Structures are given as C-alpha cells and as structure tokens.
Amino acid sequence: CCATMGRRGPFRWGLALAVVLVAQHTLAGDVRLYLEDTTQFNIFFFPASQHFKYAEGTTYKYNYEGKIDITLSSAEGQVTSTDIKAVVLLTQQAECNLVLRLQNVQVLGANGKKYGHIPDVEKPIRLNFHDGHIEDSICVEPGDSQNSINIKRAIASLFQANLKNSYETDVFGVCPTETAQHKEGNVLVIQKSRNLNKCAYRETLRQDFFSTTFNLNSEIKSSPILNGDYNANLRVKNGILDQANVIENYLYTPFSVGKNGAKAQVVSKLQLTGTSKDNPKIQCNQPRSIIFEVPHPVIAPTSNVNTILNAVKEVVKTIDVVVGEQTAKEFFTLIKIVRASKKVDLLAVYNQVKSGVGFGDKQVAKKTYLDALLAAGNGETIEVAITLLKNNELNEIEKKLVYIGLSLALLGQRGLPYEAYLGIGNLAGRYCSQHSCQNVDAVNRLTQKFIQLLSDGKAADRNEENQIIYILKGLANFRYLSDAILQKIIAIAQDKKAPNRLRAAALETYLADPCKDKLRDSALNILQDIQQDSEVRIKAYLAVAQCPNAKVGNAVKALLEKEPSYQGKHKRIRNFRNIYCTRRAFRQPN
C-alpha cells in the first residue's frame, strides 16, 4: 500500500479523490482507502507498486551531473557553461515515503571556477512515490531556503516515470507528457517528451514594461518568448531506477524568425552507484509544492552604494526631454540592483541623489530613483520608503505614489489618503500569496489595525462611507482573512439598514477568503432572502460561487426552482451551469 499527501484547495480535491476511490472500491473491490483528515495532509492508499521495487530501509546512492550551456546564434563557438555535481541519496521509508538528500553539491562556472556553498542544500525533503508517480506535495524541514528547495525539486523530478497518466506534475508544473516504454532484457526503458510551453503553473517570463498576447505557432514572434522542449530517457533495472538522462532545449527568440536567438541546453544525468541499509531521522513537517517557486532576491553582503549610483546615472543619461530607446533597459538593470541591496545602502544613495552631486538633472535623478524603489517592492525598499515618509522627505505626489506603489503606510497617521488602504492590502496580499499567513504576528497586528479603523462599521456621513469602503477593499487585497476580522465584515454585509454600497463592498471582501465557512454561510443566507436588494443578492451569489460545496449547490438549485423574481436569476442560472460543467470536467479521468 502507498500513502500520498495531497494539497488542500478551495474545492477540496482530497475529498473528491476519496469519493472516486470509494466508488472504485465498491465496483471493483481492488482498491483500499484510508483517509486521515489532518490540518496539513490528506493521506490515501494506492495499489502496490508494479514497475518499481524500492526496498524499505534501503538507501540508493546516485551520482548527479547537470550542465547548462548558453549560446547566441550570432556568436558561433562562444558558449557559457555552468556545471552542477552532487551525490544523491534516496531512502525508501514506510508507506511509500521517499527521503531525498544531497551531499557534496558543487556549482562550477567557466574554467572550473567554484561558486560558494548553497545554504540549506543538504537538508532533506520527503516525497511520496508510488509506481513511478510522485505526488505534487513534498515536505521540507523548517528554515530550508527557496534556492535549496528548488534544486531538490529538480532532482526529485528525475525519478518520476508515470506510466499510467498523460500528465505529470513536477518542478516544471503540470505538464502533458508523451510516454513510451520497451524492454531490453531485464531493463525497462522509459522515454518521455514534453513541450514545456504547455505546462500549467510553469514559471513564465516576467515583463515589467509590457504584456501582450502571442501566437505560439507563428514563425514571427512579436513578443519575447522562451520555447522549451524536454526529452527524458530512464532505465529501470530490476525495479530500481538505474539511470536517467534528461535534455532540455530552450530558445529565446525576441523579435526573430526561426531558430535565431539565444539558446540554452540543460543536460541532467543520474547514475546509480550503490545501495546501503539506512533509515535517516528527519524533521520534514512543512508541506510545499513540488513545482518551482521563484526565489526571493539574495541581498548583497557588501556595500552596494557605488553600484546603485552608477546604475542611476546610466538611466539619467538616456533621458533628455523624453525617455530614450535605452531607458527601459537601463531602468530594469537599476531595479535588479536595488532589489539586491540593503536598506542602509539604499538610504545612502537617496541622500546623495537628493543632493544632486554628480547628476546633471537633480529632479530627474530623484524621480528615477524613487520609481526604482517603488518598482523593486521588496522588504528592504519598503523600509526605505517608510523611513522617507516618517522623515517628511517626500512631497504630496511622491507620498501618494509610495502609498500605491510600495503598498505600505502607518495606519495611525492622520489624514491618510484612501490609496494607502489599498496599498497596505496589496502588501499583505503579496506576502500571503507567497507564505502561509495563519498565526503570523505581523499579519495579525495589521488585521487588528483594520479592525480598529472599521470601528462599529456604521457611517455617519458620505465621507465615513467612503473610508469604510476603502478599508474593506484594502482587506480584500489581503487574499486572506483571519477569524478576528470575520464578524466585523459579516455584520456590515448583513446589516439591512446599512447603505447598499457598504454591504456590497463587504460582500466583495468575502472573495479574499471565500472558503471560510462563516463567510460562505453568511453569503448564502443573504442570497436566499428574497426580500434583500437585488444588487446585494448578486454580490452574495458571486461570493458563494467562488467556493461552492454541496450545501451551496442544493441551496442554489432550490432557489432557482422557487425564485419568484427574474431579476438577476438568468445570471445565476448561467453561472451555476458553468460551475456544474467545470466540476464535471475536473472529475473526468484523464
């Protein structure tokens, strides 16, 4: 039997899978199910492995070699290479849990130059493996860094050989995969191929200055795009992965035709070298996705003042009456440098830019630098912006730009512009989109500030209405609502004496965390009350439609059957049918 850890989502995929497995058990009698409902994992049991036979308590030792070659079609013979070498230890534990550890990790640049040690790279991860399939949720140790986890995600993905599904989920995302297999004596040979551009949830190129659609099949690309192909050859000997070779080919084709552009090839090799009896004790208790996560920038350990100043000067040089053709390129370089700089260096640069020493146009230099701070938007730049606000270094227009761009302000400040509430919510939302916000002290304290600002949620005049609406919109930007704030929002939404615009704003705030039972039940009660204003009911419907369950489905069905008024009804019918069809599509097997 095998246990697998599944991530919980708004539609509770674990529960859906449990229903499917129970149905299979009833019909065929060949699948056993065990469901353990915990705060972190759903655990299921699958049939015993057929193709793979890793022995419990055994560690399999592999040599890993990876090489990245980057070339330009206009520079024949010029290749930039990076090599990665490591020893990979894969230990089979109970219930199909595999522990992956790395040792002797080396990153080599041109001419064999060694790069520094990668922090946390030797910390183990735990993954779940059954008959070649690796689950999309892994477990990591507390404090493991993003770069370290990404390396282990990539190496863990080499072990996947899902022969029963046309999709695989690994470091690249959820990818349609063509698989073929044949036997060579006692060796099972598995060949896989993918078009990486078709992978869902794959990291995409970030365009800071423009975004446009593109035709994937067109020979002429009007937008820079990275084409990626993946080919893998795995050799499984006596149920154990003996060798894996993966080749990724990338072509970056900005404004070009055919295969002209920057090329990159990534070759990964894994070779079994031996086994040993081992059962390491690990502390992997934090669930993470196996899909690649964009790491946060690493702050420069030494002073970066001169580098930042030079980058600002390069941007200013390109600006005359209007921006020049090189301005965007130089400004993007400045943003990257600012993101990797410390607060003390950023403040030192601001003081020098403010003085105008070394700059032909003082005002352009200052505005350019402030724009870069806003665009960088990480923790260090936010602290700099707050310092500038506290010290009254900015004029009114610059203050508003900071409130909107850096997304933070002091909530207790008098005369705070409404834009600040939206900005604060955006900042919290950015954090909560990359981290779990449950029991985070900073988020809880920020929520308490909003609770105080909402007071009793009742407005004496139009200005107070506007303020409450902006506060609610700021909360909606959190994308997470703690239990402490729920009752305040619900009270506003359910208050029939409150202005409809306040109630509508409160219901829109429900969308920040629509799977909260209290919010869903509240919205459903408002929807079912036919005496309510139609605008409010439609907002309530949109809230429950974001995270429906069986109770919502039955209630909406009953409502559609007995609804005496047709105002808003057709919208709900169309939307409900779409949701129903979507759920059915997700339940269909691949």
* Residue 135 neighbours by CB distance under 10 Å: 20
SS (H, E, C) 387-441: HHHHCCCCCHHHHHHHHHHCCCCCCCCCCCCHHHHHHHHHHHHHHHHHCCCCCCH
pLDDT score recorded for residue 579: 52
Asked whether residue 186 is assigned to any structural domain, the reply reads yes
Same domain for 467 and 536, yes or no, is: no
Asked whether residue 232 is assigned to any structural domain, the reply reads yes
pLDDT score recorded for residue 16: 31
- What confidence tier does 174 reach under pLDDT thresholds 50, 70, 90? very high
Asked whether the beta carbons of 85 and 110 are under 8 A apart, the reply is no
Residue 72 sits in a domain whose CATH number is 2.30.230.10
How does pLDDT run across 457-492, given as a tens digit for each residue?
A: 888 888 889 989 999 998 998 888 988 889 999 999
Same domain for 38 and 56, yes or no, is: no
Rg of the chain taking only CA atoms, in angstroms: 28
Of 513, 534, 549, which residue constitutes the final position of a domain? 513
Asked whether residue 430 is assigned to any structural domain, the reply reads yes
Domain span at residue 21 reads 1-48
Asked whether residue 148 is assigned to any structural domain, the reply reads yes
- What confidence tier does 1 reach under pLDDT thresholds 50, 70, 90? very low
Give every CB contact of residue 462 below 8 A, 6+ residues apart in sequence. none
Asked whether the beta carbons of 192 and 231 are under 8 A apart, the reply is yes
Same domain for 282 and 144, yes or no, is: yes
Same domain for 90 and 151, yes or no, is: yes
Of 240, 260, 289, which residue constitutes the final position of a domain? 289
Of the ranges 159-168, 428-437, 502-511, which one carries the lowest mean pLDDT score? 428-437
How does pLDDT run across 285-304, given as a tens digit for each residue?
A: 889 999 998 887 777 677 88
How does pLDDT run across 206-254, given as a tens digit for each residue?
A: 444 444 444 555 555 445 577 899 999 999 999 999 999 999 999 886 6
Measured in whole angstroms, the distance separating CA 346 from the mean position of its chain's CA atoms is 28
Of 462, 497, 513, which residue constitutes the final position of a domain? 513
Same domain for 384 and 436, yes or no, is: no
Domain count, the chain: 5
- Could you give the CA distance from residue 383 to residue 344 in angstroms, rounded to a whole number? 10
Same domain for 390 and 431, yes or no, is: no
Asked whether residue 294 is assigned to any structural domain, the reply reads no
Asked whether residue 559 is assigned to any structural domain, the reply reads yes
89: its two tokens: 């230890």
Q: Beta partners for 88?
A: 62, 102
Residue type present at position 531: Q
Residue 277 confidence (pLDDT) above 90: yes
% residues pLDDT > 90 (the chain) = 36
Q: Which residue has the higher pLDDT, 119 or 89?
A: 89
Asked whether residue 316 is assigned to any structural domain, the reply reads yes
Same domain for 457 and 492, yes or no, is: yes
Asked whether residue 295 is assigned to any structural domain, the reply reads no
Same domain for 419 and 560, yes or no, is: no
How does pLDDT run across 363-381, given as a tens digit for each residue?
A: 899 999 998 988 887 778 8
* Residue 254 neighbours by CB distance under 10 Å: 13
Same domain for 307 and 440, yes or no, is: no
Q: Which DSSP category does 152 fall into?
A: H
Q: Which residue has the higher pLDDT, 187 or 26?
A: 187
Residue entry with tokens 């921006």: 323
Same domain for 167 and 83, yes or no, is: yes
- Could you give the CA distance from residue 275 to residue 65 in angstroms, rounded to a whole number? 19
How does pLDDT run across 70-97, given as a tens digit for each residue?
A: 888 766 667 889 999 999 999 999 888 9
pLDDT score recorded for residue 459: 86
Residue 261, CA atoms < 13 Å, CB-side half-sphere: 21
Same domain for 397 and 340, yes or no, is: yes
CB-based burial of residue 171 (10 Å sphere; 0-12 exposed, 13-18 middle, 19+ buried)? buried
Residue 398 confidence (pLDDT) above 60: yes
Q: Which residue has the higher pLDDT, 43 or 138?
A: 138
How does pLDDT run across 534-566, given as a tens digit for each residue?
A: 889 999 999 998 888 888 888 888 888 877 655
- Could you give the CA distance from residue 446 to residue 464 in angstroms, rounded to a whole number? 21
Residue type present at position 381: T
Same domain for 132 and 156, yes or no, is: yes
